[in-house]
Amino acid sequence: MDSAVLATVILALIKIALILAVLFTGVAYYSLAERKFSAFMQDRIGPNRCGPFALLQPLADGVKFFLKEDVIPHHVDKVLYLAAPAMAMIPAMATIAVVPFADPIPAPASGLFASLGQIQFQLADINVGMLYIFAVSGLAVYGVVIAGWASNNKYALLGSLRASAQMISYELTLGLSVLGVFMVYETLQLDAIVAAQTSFISFLPVAIPKWGIVVQPLGFLLFLIATFAETSRLPFDLPEGEAEIVAGYHVEYGSMKFMLFMLAEYSHMIIASAVITCLFLGGWNLPWVDMSSLPAVQRVAAQLAVFTAKAGFFAFLFIWVRWTLPRFRYDQLMRLGWKVLLPLAIANLVATGAFYVVKYTVGIG
């Protein structure tokens, strides 16, 4: 095998291991953070037994899921019932492959990776990165639908039907809301979108960064709302509506199979936070702060810290909204998606196109 190919394969395996380790650790402590914050909002104590500040609680939960009896109800379609959790989890993990976390750094001058030229903090740098995310994340709903169907339970089936209707309704808004971003930055590549946000809006008297949230504020709001619906979080958690359908599509699941659904949900929220950061918040960049003069290792560390802080804010927002807003009724959910968000997304796209017609006609920056 050619040395460059071998180096590429080994580096890819290292990246996969690191990304999965960080993702699973993040999911574990994200669930703990949600439990602690919900306890704070409800004036409860919350988890406080497992280790200092309950930091070992995720480990205890993992052991509990592993040791629970793995019951398979006799009335289910066994093949589909067992496949559904994996079908929900795999797309959740796969979408992180195209998310960039920092600028590339030069490869070592000698050694196995010297032939690579540079090392990217991204598993797959493809020029249609956002299309990949939309395509793969849309597959997760199959796991939910099949879980409800295979369970042979009317409440599970109602939950899966709600999930499919919700996905169809809000996927349109999700896609249309970012078309304006693609028009502004003229690329679908996430690292290129982040790089484009380092510039400033030239036709304004003050230096304002060309972040997505600045140039596409309505697109940002629509994308954020649609992301809540896509991840089935309150106020859009109709597929799990405990008050009506007893946990919905995964009501017949327990043990490790239920844990896979939980991991998929929290993974979706973490990756969605990272994608929002890349599209609308400048990624790992800070306006008016030049990190390019720092040594490579320090620069990457600073960029990773900035990216984590931005994505962490949106991850916290998912928790905050869940324990603040009540659940929509099903008819309200559909009405909001089709009669409010979709027309606004189309209007935003038309307005962005009209602006660029004027821009290239008049010649403004």
Which string of DSSP letters, residue by residue, matches 179-241?
HHHHHHHT---HHHHHHHTTSB-TTSSS--B--HHHH-HHHHHHHHHHHHHHTT-TTS-GGG-
Q: How far apart are CA 279 and CA 350, in angstroms?
A: 19
Q: Is 96 or 206 the better-scoring residue by pLDDT? A: 96
How many residues appear in the chain? 365
pLDDT tier at 277 (50, 70, 90 boundaries)?
very high
pLDDT at 312 over 90: yes
Q: How far apart are CA 185 and CA 279, in angstroms?
A: 10
Mean pLDDT of the chain, nearest integer: 87
Q: How far apart are CA 15 and CA 23, in angstroms?
A: 12
Check residue 276 and give its pLDDT: 95
pLDDT tier at 160 (50, 70, 90 boundaries)?
confident
- C-alpha dihedral, 318 to 227 to 96 to 301, nearest 10°: -50
Beta bridge partners of 313: none
Least confident interval from 39-43, 78-82, 239-243: 239-243
Copy the structure tokens of residue 237: 């958690």
Other residues' Cβ atoms within 10 Å of the Cβ of residue 332: 12
Cα-Cα-Cα-Cα dihedral sign, residues 93, 94, 99, 100: positive
Three-point CA angle 23, 177, 282, nearest 5°: 55
Q: What is the DSSP string of 336-355?
A: IIIIIIHHHHHHHHHHHHHH
Closest CA to 231 of 307, 138, 365, 156: 138
Check residue 248 and give its pLDDT: 79
Whether the model clears a pTM of 0.85, i.e. scores above it, the answer is: yes
Residue 346 falls in which region: left (phi positive, over 0), alpha (psi -120 to 50) or beta: alpha
Helix (H) or strand (E) run with residue 106 in it? strand 105-106
DSSP state of 108: P
Over residues 200-242, the pLDDT tens digits come to 877 666 778 889 999 999 999 999 999 998 888 878 888 777 7
Check residue 279 and give its pLDDT: 94
Check residue 292 and give its pLDDT: 78
Distance from the Cα of residue 183 to its chain's centroid: 22
Q: How far apart are CA 323 and CA 282, in angstroms?
A: 28
Check residue 143 and give its pLDDT: 87
DSSP state of 328: P
Closest CA to 19 of 89, 123, 103: 123
Roughly how many angstroms between the first and final C-alpha of the chain, as a whole number? Answer: 49
Average pLDDT over residues 69-74: 84
**Looking at 127-194, which runs of residues are DSSP E strands?**
none
pLDDT tier at 313 (50, 70, 90 boundaries)?
very high
Average pLDDT over residues 124-149: 87
Matching residue, tokens 């919350």: 46
CA distances to 16, 102, 123, 229, 304 from 20, in Å: 6, 17, 11, 25, 16
Farthest-apart Cα atoms in the chain, separation: 70
Copy the structure tokens of residue 252: 């017949």
pLDDT tier at 364 (50, 70, 90 boundaries)?
low
Phi, psi of 200 (to 5 degrees): -120, 155
Phi, psi of 338 (to 5 degrees): -90, -35
Over residues 105-126, the pLDDT tens digits come to 887 777 777 777 788 888 888 8
How deeply is 363 buried, as exposed, middle or buried, from its count of CB atoms within 10 A (0-12, 13-18, 19+)? Answer: exposed
Residue pair 121/101 in contact by the 8 Å Cβ criterion: yes
Average pLDDT over residues 125-138: 87
pLDDT tier at 348 (50, 70, 90 boundaries)?
very high
